[in-house]
Structure 1
Amino acid sequence: MFNQKTAWITGASSGIGEALAVELARQGARLVLSARRETELQRVAKATGLPADAVLVLPLDVTDAADLAEKVQTVLARFGRVDYVFQNAGITQRSLVQDTDPVVYRRLMDVNFFGAVALTQAVLPQLLTQKSGHFVVTSSVAGKIGVKQRSGYCASKHALHGFFDSLRAEVANEGLRVTIVCPGYIRTPISSSALSASGEVYGKSDRAQEQGMPADECARRILKAVAAGREEIYVGGREIWGIYLKRFFPAILSKIIRNRRVEG
């Protein structure tokens, strides 16, 4: 499925993005690795075991929309096409609504939502020209459910669903696909790099995150779903049942969320 296909991964320097890079390489893909930290991207590129001509380290900040058109051309100059765009760049928060500086909300939306929108618009013309391509977007269980101390994160992930559901409908007859991934607790450093109420780094790892699904198992499940053409998938442990409670028994879920203690 992925052999000799070009997969562009944002957020590739750690966590789910890194795990996707390693697994895609194992399945024979050619990789474009993007994130802000070039040294970490170089480490991931080495970890994939791919030869130099099969991997492109392409540092970028998804919030710098003016730079994205040039980045797309760099990818095309190297590989000639883009088959998969794994949009995995993202940050979270740990703060109450009453305490959160509006700057934090803008930062969350810029990275998690507007960054994904900007890259999509930059690469979409090429995929339409090819008449093929697949956007794989990392949302979250929080993209379906609002929880304490994550108001901006939840809002940004909810927004992804509206945008990419609309895009899927628009490009369905053009040979393009969209898969939205909703991970639950995955063993990644996302919580320790969360934003506090003032915008500083939270700096602590959540217990639930530490006990979550290993990132490599998450990556394998994502790729299996992408290969099957799934439109939306939920990956994690029992926390994903919250999505079904929200749909069928919303009052029960609301009570659970209200009464749940938060760390910190």
Structure 2
Amino acid sequence: MAFSGSVIWITGASSGIGEAIALELGRTQKVKLILSARREKELQRVATQTGLPESDVLVLPMDLSDTESLAAHVDTVRQRFGRIDYVFQNAGITQRSTVADTDFSVYKRLMDVNFFGAVALTKAILPLMLAQGNGHFIVTSSVAGKLGTKKRSGYCASKHALHGFFDSLRAETYNEGLRITLVCPGYIRTPISINALGADGNRHGKMDANQEKGLSVEDFSHRLLRAVSQEKEEVYIGGTEIYGIYLKRFLPGLLSRILRNRKET
């Protein structure tokens, strides 16, 4: 995995997938990292644990839903490192509520963070990458970005939207030297279900059983980095749940029956 010498920006870097990517890169590659999330204290912890010199790590707290602030953050990175080679977009939230019960504000929050935040950051970085003549966006979607399940309507919609946007961007910028990898995780052991939004927007506060038994973030990040180094356009990482993507493609009626009869918590 040839990332050495690269400037790599990781969002959602304070925990879960983002943290695991930062730690593996820091411990195995000679890179410069930008670590972003809302919790500065946790970002500082991750920065220390990468083992990289302080000069090679920029802790850059930010809220992706504050889209007007993102251009200034990109300028901060440009002034510090001069370029951006890879952007791992991991920040995101999910939900646990039916369509009938979900307040509209929950849908807006999900789209603001999962979709519009990723789009706004990409738009802010894009001119720099186009001027460089190269760059690579790695966007964390989900198996839910390829199909729909109960009590995840807004989450699924936001992840589906990422595929439409970034597939279009790939087609537009491939010949300009840019690369895009969409990654669809299955069940990964992260706090995402604990931090899920309920019907009224309050925190779900529970670890899902499937999440708890999922793939470790370390295993996930290693597989992802290998796929990125190979410039894969789309990659599915997880357990047997990823077979749902293939059922959707080849046996959609069967998948529909499975999903409507499945109990979701």
Same fold (TM over 0.5): yes
Report SS of the residue matched to 2:183.
Answer: strand
RMSD: 0.6
User: Aligned partners of 2:5 and 2:200: how far apart in 1?
Assistant: 45
User: Aligned partners of 1:78 and 1:50: how far apart in 2?
Assistant: 16
Deviation at 1:5, TM superposition (A): 0.3
Report SS of the residue matched to 2:35.
Answer: strand
1:248 lines up with 2:245 in the alignment: no
Q: Give 1:169's match in structure 2, choosing from 168, 171, 174.
A: 171
Query: Hey, what does 1:228 align to over in structure 2?
Result: 230
Query: Hey, what does 2:103 align to over in structure 1?
Result: 101
Query: Hey, what does 1:24 align to over in structure 2?
Result: 25
Deviation at 1:23, TM superposition (A): 1.1
1:208 lines up with 2:210 in the alignment: yes
Deviations 1:171-209 (A, max 9, x none): 011000000000000000000000000000000000000
User: Aligned partners of 2:49 and 2:210: how far apart in 1?
Assistant: 27
Deviation at 1:63, TM superposition (A): 1.0
Query: Hey, what does 2:64 align to over in structure 1?
Result: 62
Query: Hey, what does 1:73 align to over in structure 2?
Result: 75
Deviations 1:116-153 (A, max 9, x none): 00000000000000000000000000000100000000
Q: Which amino acid is 2:159 matched to?
A: K
Runs of 4+ in 1 over 2 A off after TM superposition: none
User: Aligned partners of 1:63 and 1:198: how far apart in 2?
Assistant: 19
Deviation at 1:47, TM superposition (A): 1.2
Report SS of the residue matched to 1:98.
Answer: coil
Report SS of the residue matched to 1:200.
Answer: coil
Report SS of the residue matched to 1:56.
Answer: strand
Q: Which amino acid is 1:22 matched to?
A: L
Structure 2 gap segments, 5+ residues each: none
User: Aligned partners of 1:33 and 1:86: how far apart in 2?
Assistant: 10
Q: Which amino acid is 1:167 matched to?
A: L
How many matched pairs?
263
Query: Hey, what does 2:53 align to over in structure 1?
Result: 51
User: Aligned partners of 1:214 and 1:176: how far apart in 2?
Assistant: 30
1:119 lines up with 2:104 in the alignment: no
Q: Which amino acid is 1:129 matched to?
A: A
User: Aligned partners of 1:103 and 1:114: how far apart in 2?
Assistant: 15
Deviations 1:34-84 (A, max 9, x none): 000000100111111111011000000111111111111111111110000
Query: Hey, what does 2:9 align to over in structure 1?
Result: 8
Query: Hey, what does 2:90 align to over in structure 1?
Result: 88
Q: Which amino acid is 1:153 matched to?
A: Y
Query: Hey, what does 1:259 align to over in structure 2?
Result: 261
Percent identity at matched positions? 66
Query: Hey, what does 2:149 align to over in structure 1?
Result: 147
Deviation at 1:28, TM superposition (A): 2.0
Q: Give 1:193's match in structure 2, choosing from 192, 195, 219.
A: 195
User: Aligned partners of 2:170 and 2:199: how far apart in 1?
Assistant: 35
Report SS of the residue matched to 1:190.
Answer: coil
Query: Hey, what does 1:157 align to over in structure 2?
Result: 159
User: Aligned partners of 1:65 and 1:253: how far apart in 2?
Assistant: 37
